[in-house]
Amino acid sequence: MNQPNHEDYAEEAESAERAEAWPQAAALWRRAACQLRESATHSTEMPELHAKYQATAEACDRRHKAALVLEKIARNLLKVPTLRHRHSDRLDFHELSVGQIRRALFAAYQAGLEDAK
């Protein structure tokens, strides 16, 4: 059986991104970068592709961090237990006051400002 190459890991990483599985996607992008560096073929595109894989892994890390902040805001301010789709109207739809929504949006805005510092 052949060992997966960097393109295989990149394809899996893209799939994980579509599923919003950010930690898994980041790990797969890093594995793709590592596999690319370890491969015997060193084309002129290798440094650029390696940098792309690393940058995409870092973007997935940022998305994961943002998702965690939003989950916390949803739980604490909106009293919504999860932001995951549960495929049930009873579980996926919530009645919220304008004040709750305003506080949650402000908390998300503040988190963005803090992250930018």
The amino acid occupying position 104 is: A
Query: E-strand spans in the chain?
Result: none
Write the pLDDT tens digit of every residue in 41-91. 666 778 899 999 999 999 999 999 999 999 999 999 999 999 999 999 999
**DSSP class of 117:** -
Distance, in Å, from the CA atom of 27 to the CA atom of 57, rounded to the nearest integer, reads 7
Cβ-contact 63, 22 below 8 angstroms: yes
User: What pTM, to 2 d.p., does this model score?
Assistant: 0.82
Cβ-contact 104, 74 below 8 angstroms: yes
Distance, in Å, from the CA atom of 21 to the CA atom of 18, rounded to the nearest integer, reads 8
